A and B are shown apart, each in its own frame.
Chain A
Amino acid sequence: MKILLMGNPNVGKSVVFNRVTGANVIASNYAGTTVEFTKGSMKLGAERAELIDVPGTYTLEPTCKAEEIAVEMLGEHTDGDVVINVVEATNLERSLNLTLQLLKRKIPTVVALNFWDETKHKGISIDNKKLEEILGVPCVPICAVTGEGVNHLVEKIKEAKPSGYEYEDNQRWQKIGSIVDKVQSVTHRHHTWLERLGDASVRPLTGIPIAAAVMFLAFKVIRFIGEGLIGYVGEPVFEKLWAPVMMKLSAVMGSGGFLHDLVIGQLIDGEIDFGQSFGLLTTGLFVPIGAVLPYVFAFYLVLSLLEDLGFIPRLAVMVDTLMHRLGLHGFAIVPMLLGLGCNVPGALSTRILETRRERFISATILSIAVPCAALQAMVVGLVGEHGVGYIAIIYGTLFAVWVLLGVIFNKTIKGESPEIFLEIPPYRIPYMRSLGKKIWIRIKWFLKEAIPFVLLGVLIVNLLYTFGIIQFVGKITAPVVTRVLGLPQDAVGALIVGFLRKDVAVGMLIPLGLTIKQLVIASVVLAMYFPCVATFTTLVKELGVVDMLKSATIMIISSLIVGGLLNLILP
């Protein structure tokens, strides 16, 4: 038996899904968090049923790719399947539009009235028994984030039945109006401070300063937490606890030889240097856990907080005019923000955009000019020693490339960019438990993706050096790497490994003893020249092979141009 969770975007389907299955999927306070369906299993009495978290849709006449997926999934249902229609109780009229369309399909349905607690603050009272009578299907009030009513909802699944409610399509809104009149009464009440803040952050006069302040604060907090965790937790744990263990192991393995160098790496002045040794158990563990994880945690803490609050759609409105210059609209800021954590979820979320043109532009400028957290953490660690100014040059260059490429694409690729059309959810106080859960999902995902690839990267670095491949490729590519980019021949090793993991690639620059100018150029080129393999496969899937080839050509050419220019300009 299959149970489909369906409803408008941002009504809390994913929260219900997590509650019922005990699974972990990302839920946020904006439309379009779920762009793929997620399956989970749940207990229903003695049986097990399959629960499917379907992307949100306003109607069964789809308007974007995520909505198409939803409608397709509904089409694939078989006898005995059930739909749980999650609706926003605070927004009954609009939600019922989809509900009535669903009921017409004659699939057994249960309606879950989510945000039941919020109706009370908003002075809305809904008679759910009466609604049940009219629609002819169970209607259960729930509050998904706290879990209230969710058990009751699960019990009601077996009472789900096809509705006997009949109407003509062109009468739908009139019918909805009359249903709402019968079951809902609204009492007047004053604006809450959250609503005032919500309105203030979309007025230009107050909204622009608010958005600027939030972004500035976000960067400050991420750096503070990230650096604090590295300085007080990551480094001490590795230096004080792990290094002695590794030194003992090194002695056992004879302090040298091929196997020793693979596992422990090169000893620097008889000691382990987690940045430079490049052994699987030293640098291979330190890079993902000691150096990158603290920043990944800090980034996702701040991002998740802003998501659950409901800030992201408001930011989308504020940047809409800028994004139109790049051939996109404001909502395209979502893939970019997600991409600052990891380009893979960023590339996936380009599905919230309506046209192929927008998806190509956003995916391309994302993978060229939006550095992931792993790369950023290593770059900040490496370049930061030489002063914040150099970090500013790197970020400034990438931002300029991002804007410039977007403008060029907008002028050269045929087609128009659609206008923004976006629901703005109310600000909501994040519920700490679901926030914690979300951060944990993302951290777990990072560790699972990063550690194997970092280890593989370190292994390959060792093999490349042992067999003299880096020296060989270095000679061949010298005209480009040395003449155009002004980097030493050995830096080509970082470009090879960068295809696997960008953080390991930056780490490979440490033993090369580069000048600060070379570090800046190498960091920018590593960010731009090609996506890592995980992003690459995602992009092939999202864009198709032909568009991905175009995109990759643009990446390589633009990174050479920008790297070359930096080499000429920087003192």
Chain B
Amino acid sequence: MTETKAIRVSLVQMRPGQKGRIVEINGGYGMACKLDALGIRTGKEIKKISEQLMRGPVLLQQNQTQAALGFGMASRILVEVNGEDKI
């Protein structure tokens, strides 16, 4: 793996503090709508703020918005992070 190669991980697999770009949202129409309303959609740069213990919610920041989303939802959002940020 080269240092600059981008890796795809789910929001759950990202480390807190890590940044990335959303590349895929594997959810139904309802989930996509809800995320969309907060500006969370494919192509957006996001930063993971934190995750809770025992498969708790994940917090992410997009632009000026912070949102908490459940573990299941977070695991269906795929993010491209830079390869040098080891996961």
Stretch at the interface among B1-9, B56-64, B79-87: B56-64
- How far, in angstroms, from A318 to B54 measured CA to CA in the complex? 11
Tell me, yes or no, whether A77 is within 8 Å of chain B by CB.
no
Docked Cα-Cα span, A420 to B55, in Å, equals 12
> Contact check: which of A61, A122, A422 meets B67 at CB < 8 Å?
A422
Alpha-carbon gap, A198 to B65, bound state (A): 13
B30 within 8 A of A: yes
- CB of A419 within 8 A of CB of B69, answer yes
Instruction: Tell me which of A93, A202, A318, A420 contacts B70 (CB under 8 A).
Output: A420
- Report whether B68 and A313 are in contact in the complex, using a CB–CB cutoff of 8 Å: yes
Contacts of A58 in B (CB 8 A): 34, 37-38
Q: Which of B33, B52, B59, B69 contacts A61 (CB 8 A)?
A: B33
Give chain A interface residues in 159-208, CB to chain B under 8 Å.
173, 198-199, 202-204, 207
- A423 in contact with B70 (CB, 8 Å): no
Interface centre among B65, B66, B68 (most CB of A within 10 A): B68
Task: Give the interface residue-count category, chain B.
Answer: 20 to 34
- Cβ contact within 8 Å between A420 and B65: no
Give chain A residues whose Cβ lies under 8 Å from the Cβ of B68: 202, 313, 316-317, 320, 330, 420-422, 424
Contact B71 A59 (CB under 8 A): no
A21 within 8 A of B: no
Least Cβ–Cβ distance between A290 and chain B, in angstroms: 42
User: CA separation between A90 and B64, bound complex, in Å?
Assistant: 7
In the assembled complex, the Cα of A418 lies from the Cα of B52 at a distance in Å of: 17
Q: How many contacts A-B (CB < 8 Å)?
A: 98
Give the contacting residue for A329; candidates B16, B39, B54, B70; CB below 8 A: B70
Contact B34 A202 (CB under 8 A): no
Compute how far the CA of A420 lies from the CA of B72 in the bound complex, rounded to whole angstroms.
10
Inter-subunit contact B30/A63 (CB<8 Å)? yes
Q: Which residues of B contact A199 (CB under 8 A)?
A: 49-50
Q: 8 Å CB contacts to A: which residues of B10-47?
A: 16, 30, 33-39, 41
A321 pairs with B49, CB closer than 8 A:
no
Q: A58-B37, A91-B64, A203-B16 are in contact. Are A321 and B52 (CB under 8 A)?
A: yes
- Chain B interface helix/strand/loop/mixed: mixed
Whether B38 pairs with A320 at a CB distance below 8 angstroms is no
Is A97 an interface position by the 8 A CB rule?
Answer: yes
With A330-B57, A421-B69 known to touch, is A320 a contact of B52 (CB < 8 Å)?
A: yes
CB within 8 Å for A94 and B65 given contacts A202-B50, A419-B72:
yes
In the bound complex, CA of A313 to CA of B50 (Å)? 14
Using CB atoms, name the residue of chain B closest to A331: B68
Selected from A90, A173, A420, A423, the residue in CB contact (under 8 A) with B38 is A423
Known: A93-B39, A203-B16. A421 touches B67 (CB 8 A): yes
Partner of B65, one of A61, A317, A423: A423
Contact B57 A91 (CB under 8 A): no
Residues of B with C-beta under 8 A to A93: 39, 63
Q: Which 7 pairs, one residue from A and one from B, show the smallest C-beta to C-beta distance?
A: A419-B70, A58-B37, A424-B66, A94-B39, A321-B56, A203-B50, A91-B64
Instruction: Provide 9 A-B residue pairs closer than 8 Å at the C-beta atoms, listed in order of the A residue.
Output: A94-B38, A94-B65, A173-B36, A202-B68, A317-B52, A317-B56, A419-B69, A419-B70, A423-B67
